[in-house]
Amino acid sequence: MAEISPDDAAAITGGCQCGAVRYLVKAAPVKTCICHCRECRQQAASAFGISVLVHGCDIELMQGTVKTWSRPTDGGAVLPCHFCPDCDTRLFHGTPGERDVVSVKGGSFDVVPDLARVDHIWAKRKLPGVIIPDGVKTYPGEPDKNLV
């Protein structure tokens, strides 16, 4: 697969594993980061999660519908999590359709994000053996609101 960078202004497409849900991101990502928190590791069933931050109003659902489940965050907020009702692939965290930033799960893109220079958040929770590249920004926990 080709790779996208945070500077790409072209429309970005993606969807769930079974193909029932398809979406379009109509603007360049605001930021991409690797998250090492337990929640992201669990939902990705992997060593970390890939979060591509976009404005919710730039997400257009092209096919299918999503189910929503909400969970508490470490900061005390409630985070809506959107996923395919057929295959349960997690697609978004946040509220698509609004101006606020939404985290699109990087593994759901048709073209994978370039992870070479992305920030790493919740680095204090990274698994042993996961190597964070030299020279990238790391945050021990949740970064302040100035991340985006």
| Residue pLDDT, tens place only, 67-88 | 999 988 777 778 899 999 999 9
- CA dist 45 and 15 (Å) reads 18
Structurally, how many domains does the chain consist of?
1
Query: How high is the pLDDT of residue 112?
Result: 83
Asked if residue 1 has pLDDT above 60, the reply is no
Query: How high is the pLDDT of residue 4?
Result: 47
Looking at the domain assignment, is residue 148 inside a domain? no
Instruction: Write down the pTM of the prediction.
Output: 0.82
Looking at the domain assignment, is residue 146 inside a domain? no
Looking at the domain assignment, is residue 53 inside a domain? yes
Query: How high is the pLDDT of residue 10?
Result: 57
Share of the chain above pLDDT 90, in %: 58
What single-letter amino acid sits at 98? E
Query: How high is the pLDDT of residue 148?
Result: 54
Looking at the domain assignment, is residue 58 inside a domain? yes
CATH number of domain containing 62: 2.170.150.70
Q: Which domain holds residue 8?
A: 3-141
CA angle 13, 109, 22 (to 5 degrees): 50
Looking at the domain assignment, is residue 147 inside a domain? no
* Residue 129 CA: distances (Å) to CA of 47, 73, 126, 140: 10, 26, 9, 17
